[in-house]
Amino acid sequence: MKPDTLPYAEIADCNVAQNQGWQANLELGFEQKHGKTLLAHRRHQGPLTVQRPFYPEGGVCHVYILHPPGGIVGGDRLNLCINAEQHSHALITTPAAGKFYRSGGELAVQTVSIKVEKDAALEWLPQETIIYQGAQLKSSVNVKLAQGARFIGWEILSLGRPACGERFDEGLADMSWQIYCKNQPLFLERLHLDTKAFAARWGLQGFSACGTLFASPTGAESLAAVQQLIGDSKGRGVTLIDDLLVCRAIDDRSDRLRGFFEQVWAIVRPDSVQRKACAPRIWAT
């Protein structure tokens, strides 16, 4: 499917009233031309756009997604559709942490649809998402990988504001990931994070930060290297499902958690997308 025909109808349905809050859509399409990945298609509606691409590692296209309001509130709906054509390689991140603010009862919705064609590579690496106490949100990420496609993605959440003494004693975060390879489900998960899950021993045990990293394809050597990185550290874990590496972590500080995932990313990137680590400059600011 060409980037200019990406349908919004494939994005997950949700019960948000129209004309309430920001309704924002962003389509991005990447193509490989003359040894360089270009942002060949870009269309946006509402307050969701991108900066000009950067090329800190030659032909790989680095793109920063911008959300000018700075945060998402009840009634907002953000939709992102990303398509990587054959042989392209793009890395997508954000210039700052995302924020879901306290809601008066309405649901805030964010959906991300990613399609990676044969022999293409896509890295979805947004900075952490801060979920304020009292937020009501639904977030979904749907990834479709063709045969030979390569993908790395992560999601890092910070619940409440522990530095201000704020826990997550009120609110709901409904988070889901769906990863398909050749139209077959590879990983399906839905997290229902509420006050009970935040505090329970079977949940986050009161830790304010949690996250998951995915990398496909990866092999046993990458798994062993991440296991060595983890060592005896608590709140860290990694597994391999076929050739999909899944790494999870909880912590009481989101910056420390992100630092850990950046280390994991640096380990698995040469195996997964066949590139040495080249961190976006915005991560250092």
| The pLDDT of residue 120 | 98
Task: Give the domain extent around 234.
Answer: 26-284
Q: Do the domain assignments include residue 12? A: no
pLDDT band for 20, please (50, 70, 90 cuts).
low
> What pLDDT digit, counting tens, does each position of 106-153 carry?
999 999 999 999 999 999 999 999 999 999 999 999 999 999 999 999
Q: Do the domain assignments include residue 97? A: yes
Q: Do the domain assignments include residue 92? A: yes
Q: Do the domain assignments include residue 15? A: no
Count CB neighbours of 32 within 10 A: 20
pLDDT band for 87, please (50, 70, 90 cuts).
very high
> What pLDDT digit, counting tens, does each position of 197-255 carry?
888 888 898 899 999 999 999 999 999 999 999 999 999 999 999 999 999 999 999 99
Nearest to 46 by CA among 17, 78, 16, 11: 78
Q: Do the domain assignments include residue 17? A: no
| Residue indicated by tokens 């769906």 | 178
Q: Do the domain assignments include residue 10? A: no
Q: Do the domain assignments include residue 13? A: no
Question: What share of the chain has pLDDT > 70, as a percent?
Answer: 93
Rounded-to-integer distance, Cα 269 and Cα 277, Å? 6
Overall pTM surpassing 0.75 (yes/no) = yes
Q: Do the domain assignments include residue 14? A: no
pLDDT band for 21, please (50, 70, 90 cuts).
confident
Rounded-to-integer distance, Cα 250 and Cα 265, Å? 17
Which one-letter amino acid corresponds to residue 261? F
- Count the domains in the chain: 1
